């Protein structure tokens, strides 16, 4: 039986060589990475117990076992959180197939923000954006904000992978693709039964070979902050810092973008504001 937990463990086990783990490798290997019994030894559990983790839903793994596996697999902080959610799922906030409207106060604050700003949901559908956010990310899209219901709402990940020229806005499309897939994996750990998310992932897997390839690698990224490097058809090159903050009691994020004052990116935003 294939499970999300088993797929994730296998993908990370395959990414670590015995030498990287401090083990001596004997004999030919049919698959790359660590064998099950080697990872079990590194984590201090029996091979039988570990095999059950990979082959079936197992919701009783202790914190110590999850932490030991995370250390042995050299997981990042985000991957550790993801592993814990898969191994010990708990009730999470999820849209569960329903349209979630952003709170009017959140939309009002969004509209007052001087830089580009968006409100997105757990599947990266845009629930609202201010004028500068629309000009930055919605170039060529005929949408007002906020929007009226899925699937009419724009989705930046869907646009990137499925629409002609969808990746042209990004200076590093390869890295951006990995981040986008990583975010959907991270979100799937938070919302494992969500219909909206599963429908989006299913469409992307079927229609985009690149997405399907990256999805099978199980990248996990929160993408809560960083630098967005863009090449806009009107404004030109922009390097924008961003912070994504979860709105309380929702699965929504408000994402704020900022250019360093006096920088070329600030001048580019000004051109975008006053084309």
pLDDT digits (tens, 9 = 90+) for 118-162: 999 999 999 999 999 999 998 765 544 445 455 568 899 999 999
Q: Are 33 and 152 found together in one domain?
A: no
In a domain, 61, yes or no: yes
**pTM for the structure as a whole:** 0.82
Provide, rounded to the nearest whole percent, the portion of the chain with pLDDT above 70: 87
Asked whether residue 98 is domain-assigned, the answer is no
Distance, in Å, from the CA atom of 114 to the CA atom of 183, rounded to the nearest integer, reads: 26
138, part of any domain: yes
- 83 and 109, same structural domain? no
Say yes or no: 220 and 172 in one domain. Answer: yes
| Model pLDDT, residue 171 | 97
Convert the pLDDT of each residue in 249-260 to its tens digit: 888 999 999 999
Residues 80 and 184 in one domain: no
How far, in Å, CA of 228 to CA of 240, rounded? 5
Cα gap 148→101, rounded to integer Å: 9
Q: What is the pLDDT of residue 93?
A: 46
**Is residue 232 a contact partner of residue 201, using CB atoms and an 8 Å limit?**
no
The rounded distance, in Å, linking the Cα atoms of 150 and 136 is 21
What CATH number is given to the structural domain containing 28? 1.10.260.40
Specify which residues 237 forms β-bridges with. Answer: 231
**Are 70 and 143 members of one domain?**
no
Write down the pLDDT at residue 232.
93
- Same domain assignment for residues 135 and 229: yes
What pLDDT is attached to residue 145? Answer: 45
Residue-range definition of the domain harbouring residue 13 = 4-87
List the CATH number of the domain containing 183.
3.30.450.180
DSSP letter (8 states) at residue 122: T
Tell me if 209 is assigned to some domain.
yes
Whether 177 and 257 map to the same domain: the answer is yes
Residues 268 and 173 in one domain: yes
What token pair was written down for 34?
């660590």
Local structure of 66: helix, strand or coil: helix
Full pLDDT tens readout for the chain, 275 residues: 458 888 889 898 888 888 877 776 666 667 778 888 888 888 888 888 888 888 875 566 788 888 889 998 999 988 998 888 888 766 444 444 445 789 999 999 999 999 999 999 999 999 999 999 999 998 765 544 445 455 568 899 999 999 888 899 999 999 999 999 999 999 998 888 888 899 999 999 999 999 999 999 999 999 999 999 999 999 999 999 999 999 988 889 999 999 999 999 999 999 998 87
- Considering the domain architecture, whether residues 136 and 218 belong to the same structural domain is answered as yes
Q: Which long-range contacts (CB under 8 A, 24 or more apart) does 145-153 make?
A: 146/101, 146/102, 146/107, 146/119, 149/99, 150/99, 150/125, 150/196, 153/125, 153/126, 153/127
What pLDDT, on a 0 to 100 scale, did the predictor assign at position 176?
Answer: 97
Strands 117-120 and 126-129: antiparallel
Query: Are 68 and 158 in a shared domain?
Result: no
Rounded distance, CA 236 to CA 130, Å?
A: 20
Helix count and strand count (H, E) for the chain:
12, 5
Q: Within the chain, where are the H helices? A: 4-14, 36-43, 47-55, 63-73, 77-87, 104-112, 131-137, 156-162, 173-190, 195-207, 209-216, 264-273
Token pair belonging to 91: 């009730």
């Amino acid at each position: 039986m294939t499970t999300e937990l088993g797929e994730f463990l296998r993908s990370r086990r395959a990414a670590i060589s015995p030498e990287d783990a401090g083990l001596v490798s004997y004999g030919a290997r049919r698959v790359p990475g660590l064998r099950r019994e080697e990872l079990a030894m590194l984590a201090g559990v029996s091979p039988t117990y570990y095999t059950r983790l990979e082959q079936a839903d197992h919701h009783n793994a202790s914190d110590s076992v999850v932490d030991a596996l995370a250390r042995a697999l050299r997981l990042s902080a985000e991957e550790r959180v993801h592993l814990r959610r898969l191994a010990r799922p708990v009730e999470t906030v999820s849209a569960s197939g329903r349209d979630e409207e952003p709170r009017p106060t959140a939309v009002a604050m969004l509209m007052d923000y001087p830089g580009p700003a968006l409100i997105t949901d757990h599947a990266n559908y845009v629930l609202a954006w201010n004028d500068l956010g629309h000009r930055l990310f919605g170039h060529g899209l005929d949408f007002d904000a906020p929007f009226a219901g899925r699937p009419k709402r724009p989705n930046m990940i869907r646009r990137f992978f499925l629409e002609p020229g969808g990746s042209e806005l990004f200076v590093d499309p390869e890295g951006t693709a990995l981040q986008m897939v990583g975010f959907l994996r991270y979100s799937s750990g938070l919302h494992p039964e969500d219909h909206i998310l599963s429908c989006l992932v299913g469409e992307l897997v079927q229609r985009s070979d690149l997405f399907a390839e990256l999805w099978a690698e199980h990248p996990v990224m929160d993408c809560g902050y960083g630098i967005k490097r863009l090449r806009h058809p009107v404004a030109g090159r922009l390097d924008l810092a961003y912070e994504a903050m979860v709105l309380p009691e929702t699965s929504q994020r408000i994402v704020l973008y900022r250019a360093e004052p006096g920088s070329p990116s600030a001048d580019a935003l000004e051109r975008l504001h006053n084309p």
